[in-house]
Amino acid sequence: LAVRACELRPARTCDEEGVPHAHGEVSEGAKRPDFLFPSASRYRDGGSPVCMLAAKTTCKDRWRQILNEADRIPVKHLATLQEGISANQYREMRDAGVRLVVPAALHKRFPQEIRSELLDLRTFVGLVRQLVFLCYRRRRRRSACSSVRRGAVRQPRSVRSAISWIPSPLRR
């Protein structure tokens, strides 16, 4: 039950904040990270920036399980309810590419030297929002550029005048 609660909190927060995510979907092969942002299809298409979040009630040695859940993602985020870990264990996790997401109320239970590197769930959601915005902007830019190249979208007058000095075969 505690494991399920650990997964439900990030899902509920993402739903409340309107952040798109995939919960428990396959990344590759039979691997199923707890959460993929913004979606599993974006993860599989390979061209979009993506993020993952695993949820574990405690870190102990179980944090290593998340290392191969999403091969394309070098930095994996781990949401945990564990009340503090040693600085040595944290360094080992950080060196393996794991970043901790811990409730803000528990940050004070971690060693002073690592507290600045901890994320809380709201901060993590803010990072995911930026990621989703980048995906959206990149997708819009690609579709807008291809529409302009096809001649389907007329460029605004300011853009037309700004590029008028470019020889016409190079403008497209």
Paired tokens of 62: 């179980």
Choose, from 7, 14, 40, 43, the residue flagged as catalytic. Answer: 43
From residue 103, alpha-carbon distances to 16, 35, 83, 86, 159 in Å are 17, 17, 10, 17, 48
Sign of CA dihedral 64, 73, 96, 8: negative
The whole-angstrom separation of Cα 89 and Cα 92 is: 5
Q: Is 90 labeled as catalytic in the residue annotation?
A: no
Catalytic residues: 43
